Amino acid sequence: MIKTYCILLLSICIIGLSHAQIPDTYYGVALTRITTDGSTRDTSKLLYCRNISGSLLSVYTVSEGIVSMGTAYHISARKYGLYLYVAPIFSGQVKPDSLRIDFNDLEHTVLINTKDRYVLYPAYYALLKQEVSLKHSVMSLLGLLAYAMGDYPFEDALPLIRYTPHVSQQIQHARIVTQRSQADRNDSWECAYRYNKNNKLLSVSAADGKLIRFRKQVSYKGGRISYIRSYLNIEYRQITDWITSFTYNDCLLLKWYWCFNLLRLWRFECAL
């Protein structure tokens, strides 16, 4: 059995902030990942840079002091709708990609790529539409899609948005359509969201009959998150279980434990 232990240290660097928070002011979040496998040790960093408004996000992968990859995210309105654009910063990377975003005010619904349908609670819908449609906030949109249950091209942004969980009453239910990787067919997943009496998230599940694609369970202690257990199954080829535990002292400590295909155990830690 292969075991991999990773320590993820989080540092936040704020550049040129003022009380006025100038719109084009940028700040960054650096995630350092140290992976060991037997006698092999690998260190890499993910650097996230975004402006105060959240309309621009750039993600850089740094290994041995060299920036090896970079991805830029921004939202822009076009003739046929609103789009999230994902573009490589350097040549030789993956091709550019995009997500189409549509809002339906009557049904408080957000459509992603005209096929993934998120039905939101009215208050959250109004806030999200203002942030995404008017302010073009990339982070607000990624917050909606943070569970990555659909076919979305923002894998390198997931560590940033997952360490700050969204547990307030936001999504009523959703329907996600995914493309089979080795077959010319789609799968449709019905997503159910459960909340407690305080309107905090208890669980999320995405299923097609008895087949579960995604499951998330949130536990609380004293009104605060204690841990989150998640499960993702992609066509039985990649099954991932992970637990995120939260320790509250003078600062918030998060620990992520990954079990990938039952062969690897990953451990992440970060202090906020």
pLDDT tens digit sequence for 216-235 = 899 998 878 888 888 888 76
Residues 6+ apart with CB under 8 A from 95: 88
pLDDT tens digit sequence for 138-196 = 989 998 988 767 888 888 887 777 666 677 889 999 999 988 777 778 888 899 999 99
Query: Which value, to the nearest 10 degrees, does the dihedral of the CA atoms of residues 128, 233, 255, 196 take?
Result: 50
How far is residue 160's CA from residue 107's CA, in Å, rounded to a whole number? 30
Structural domain of residue 219, as residue ranges?
5-271
What are 141's two structure tokens?
Answer: 């949109």
Work out whether strand 5-14 and strand 252-260 pair parallel, antiparallel, or are unpaired.
unpaired
pLDDT tens digit sequence for 56-78 = 899 988 877 788 888 999 999 98
**How many domains, the chain?**
1
pLDDT tens digit sequence for 8-55 = 433 333 333 333 445 567 778 877 766 666 666 677 788 888 888 788
What are 20's two structure tokens?
Answer: 């006025």
| CATH code of the domain containing 171 | 2.40.160
Position 151 scores a pLDDT of 82
pTM for the predicted model, two decimal places: 0.80
